[in-house]
Structure 1
Amino acid sequence: MSYSPDQLADLIAEMVGKLDTVIDSGLLGATYDIAFRFMSSPDPSEVVDFCVVATAFTLKAGMPGSVGFVHTVPVANYVLTLRVGGSLSPTTGTAVGTVTISPAGVFTFATAGSGDTIIPAGSLIKLVAPATIDVGISGLAFTIKA
């Protein structure tokens, strides 16, 4: 198959346009680490920590590669909710995942759906404590690998 110079120029322009779209989306396969932490047991349903992301990224199903540390383990499973969007109110935005810390100190990261979730640039991401207080948990830190 051969192309005229004009056809080649059009084909190249089309491909560059598609590549620009992929690059601008922030989804070119780069990883994005987001760290959350707190020192003492939060109040029920408190927004414990939050951030605004500068670059769009994909939150992979199950958040593979995410890691956590807890200094003092909870009495029972402690489930924190990750919410995207809305305000700093703990009930606004969309729940996109959970982080569960067991009494043995094991972290389980889960996404809200079975697939990946795209988080747009400029999104507010907040970490919301469970509705039930656990006075035992303290010194928690985890990083989501997206």
Structure 2
Amino acid sequence: YARAAAEIADPPQGFGVDELRLTDYVSANAAMAAAGHELWDTIPAVATPHGWTWHHVSGGRRMELVPVEVKALLRHHGGLATTDVDQDRRGTRPLQETRPAHFRLPKGAVAVSEQQIQGVEEDLGYRLPGAYRSFLKAAGG
């Protein structure tokens, strides 16, 4: 099921499991973007493509990009649980400096169609506010 794979460097000393998960995902995304992988053509280099997630392969530092549905259905005790980091340390360290986040819009004019928005509204049972509908269409959902 893997669409891509990346080898990630060993974690720094003192990392907890949540810090490792976050930095591994960002590192794998950056590696795939730098390699010119087609899934990173329209998204920021550190973002994971919509509908995909990273899986830590047990026994090493290999990450595989798999469909989110596959990972959700196949519950497992994955490679992250066997990595040499502090498994009891949770959360991440506070940012040393904060700054506003700026999101780029997708290359296409509309990333989410009107039909998709209407489908979500049907599932929710009510119409979303106009400004939020516009945001969802432009930002990709």
Please, what TM-score do these two structures have when normalized by structure 1?
0.23
Q: Which has the larger radius of gyration?
A: 1
Higher relative contact order by CA 8 Å / sep ≥ 6: 1 or 2? 1
Q: Please state which structure has a larger fraction of its residues in strand.
A: 1
Q: Please state which structure has a larger fraction of its residues in helix.
A: 2
